[in-house]
Amino acid sequence: MDITQQFFNILTRSGFQVEQMVNRSIQNHLNKPAFVNFASQRANGMAKGMSSLQNTVEMLSVPFNFPTKNDLANATNLVVQSEEKIDNLEEQMISLTNAIQDLQAEIVTATPTQRDNR
C-alpha cells in the first residue's frame, strides 16, 4: 500500500472518530434542559432578526434593482406554469395530429363511391 493510500485511510478513520465525538457532544448538550431553554429563547430573537433583515433586503432590492428570494420563487412558479401549459399544448397537438392522420387514412381507404357520396 502506498503512502498516499495510507494517509487517506488514516484521515478517514480520524474524521470518523471526530464526527462521533462531535455527535456525542451534541447529544449530551441536547439532553440538558438549560441548553434547550437557552436555544429556545435565542431562536425567537433570531427569527425576529431574520424577518427584519428579509424586509430590509426586500426594500433595498427595489432601488438597487436586484432579485430577491421571493422574486426568484415567483419566476420559478411562472416557469413551472409555462412548462405545464406547453405540455398541455403538446398533448393537444399530438391528439390533433392523430385525428388528422386517422381522417386521412379513412379518406385513402374509402372506395370511390363512398368518396363521391360525402
Three cell numbers, residue 68 = 430577491
The pLDDT of residue 32: 82
End-to-end CA distance of the chain: 86
Are 36 and 30 in contact by the 8 Å Cβ rule? The answer is yes
Q: What is the pLDDT of residues 23-43, one digit of tens each?
A: 998 888 777 888 778 888 888
DSSP label of 2: -
pTM: 0.47
User: Is the pLDDT score of 116 beyond 70?
Assistant: no
DSSP string, 39-57: HHHHHHHHHHHHHHHHHHH
Query: Is residue 4's pLDDT more than 90?
Result: no
Q: What would the grid cell of residue 9 be? A: 485511510
User: If you average pLDDT over every residue of the chain, what do you get?
Assistant: 88
Tell me the average pLDDT across 13-23.
93
